[in-house]
Amino acid sequence: MQKLIIDANKKSLSLNLKELYAYKDLFFTLSYRDLRVRYAQTFLGLLWAFLQPLATLIIFSLVFGRFVKVDTGTIPYPLFALTGMVVWTYFSFVMSNAGSSIIDAQQMVKKIYFPRLIIPLSKAVVGFVDFVIALLFLTLLMMWYGFAPSWNIIYLPVFILLTIIAALATGIWLSALTIRYRDFKHIVPFMVQFGLYATPIAYPTSLIDSRYQALFYANPLTGIIDGLRWSVLGGEAPHLYSFISIGIMLLLFVAGVFYFKKAEKIIADIV
């Protein structure tokens, strides 16, 4: 039987990947449990992962595609919008669920020791199932339109990884902040609603005035969505400002992990 020693003098900013790996079974158990619970006792089950983005896509296609007539060049508008929605749906799911994950698991947190970071990380796995289904939906829609991907598709794994990191960065920050400030449980839904329109999902970044584009790219998802569209649908390469988005996202992720580790010592006391 392995002996567990909790050292109060251990540096709080030590990530300790070895410890996270040692609790991998708990990580997969939590992920599997959440996945089962999410679609338990539902008639359509995993079909909801298709229907949710489909409903949003229909609304966007009617409002922005037909009435506003957003110019997407040679790319059919539904394909253009869906590539942005694939990223946003995953990001918003992880942000919403990881943000309240520690509070929801407070009974377990108070009783036993384990790396608390496992809880928000497990939410990313649950959301990734929907992410894969959304990518499958995008593939089917491309086949429907007869739209073949460009050679840029080789960069798709890079932007998928960046999407996961961006979602985790926000989720980890919110999970740590919500422990101290329960207001974030009420703020997050507003963040999701605002972010849906502040992120270039339904419209291209080229519509943004050049004077404000640098500020617009301060949104970490802007560069990722541009990059994912470029890798799947082709067209012009992402703007150089995309590096601003990616840089901010990576900074948020590193800072979020270390802030979480700093707050981890007192989580069981204040949760």
For residues 269 and 267, what is the distance between their CA atoms, to the nearest angstrom? 5
Amino acid at the residue 137: F
For residues 225 and 214, what is the distance between their CA atoms, to the nearest angstrom? 15
Could you tell me how far CA 184 lies from the centroid of its own chain? Answer: 17
For residues 265 and 120, what is the distance between their CA atoms, to the nearest angstrom? 16
Q: What is the DSSP letter of 60?
A: H
E-assigned strand segments in the chain: none
∠62-70-130 over CA atoms, to 5°? 60
Give every CB contact of residue 240 below 8 A, 6+ residues apart in sequence.
Answer: none
Q: 11-44: string of b/e by CB count within 10 Å (b at 16+)?
A: eeeeeeeeeeeebeebbeebbeebbeebeeeeee
Residue 228: predicted pLDDT: 92
Listed ranges 5-9, 58-62, 159-163; the one with the highest mean pLDDT: 159-163
CA distances from 219 to 214, 227, 243, 244 (A): 10, 14, 11, 9
Q: Are 260 and 8 contacting, i.e. CB atoms less than 8 angstroms apart?
A: no
Q: 127-157: string of b/e by CB count within 10 Å (b at 16+)?
A: bbbbbebbbebbeebbeeeebeeeebeeebe
User: What is the pLDDT of the chain when averaged over all its residues?
Assistant: 82
Sign of CA dihedral 37, 41, 47, 51: negative
Q: Is the pLDDT of residue 127 over 70?
A: yes
Task: Determine phi and psi for 13, rounding to 5 degrees.
Answer: -90, 10
For residues 116 and 249, what is the distance between their CA atoms, to the nearest angstrom? 22
Q: Is the pLDDT of residue 264 over 80?
A: no
Q: Encode pLDDT of 229-244 as tens digits.
A: 999 988 777 777 888 8
∠105-107-110 over CA atoms, to 5°? 105
Give every CB contact of residue 248 below 8 A, 6+ residues apart in sequence.
Answer: 218, 220
For residues 230 and 222, what is the distance between their CA atoms, to the nearest angstrom? 12
Of 45-49, 120-124, 155-159, the poorest mean pLDDT is in 45-49
Q: Encode pLDDT of 79-117 as tens digits.
A: 999 999 999 989 988 988 887 888 877 778 777 777 888
Look-up: residue for tokens 């796995």? 125
CA count, 13 A, side-chain hemisphere, 152? 17
Residue 232: predicted pLDDT: 92
Give every CB contact of residue 206 below 8 A, 6+ residues apart in sequence.
Answer: none
Sign of CA dihedral 252, 258, 261, 263: negative
Residue percentage of the chain with pLDDT more than 90: 18
The percent of the chain in helix, strand and coil, each rounded to the nearest 5, is: 75, 0, 25
